[in-house]
Amino acid sequence: MEDWFTVVIVLHVLVALTIIGLVLLQHGKGADMGSGFGGGSSGSLFGATGSANFLSRITAALATVFFLTSLGLAYIAMHRPKTGGSIMDNVKSEQTQPAKPAPAVPSPEPAKAAPAEGTGVPPATGSKAKDVPN
């Protein structure tokens, strides 16, 4: 994933620089304004607008590539797994988790007195069955 990010960002920068160069090379419509008032062009203020020439078509294509690389960079940035950081970031996240309470240890039941011998009652074992009422 990291190598794609590098490729897309290099392509993005190259396309941006190429668009800047192409825009600076193109002949603006404002340069024809002086000749628009009877200097041989059509009757419109900014001259005749013919079909797009080669430079403007290349600029439009590169603008499309620029927008696509922008969307690609945004997608890669949002779906990149979080890596790196410092060791202290990991320590802070471990300290913010609440401590687990210690498990409760049952207290021993007090010893019961054994019945007298010869009474016919069995000695107490220290625990009752759950379904026997008190």
Name the more confident of 55 and 31.
Answer: 55
pLDDT of residue 99: 63
Q: Confidence band (pLDDT; 50, 70, 90) for 14?
A: very high
**For the chain, what are the domain ranges?**
1-24+54-81
* pLDDT tens digits along 81-132: 776 667 776 666 665 666 667 777 776 766 665 555 666 666 556 555 666 6
DSSP 59: H
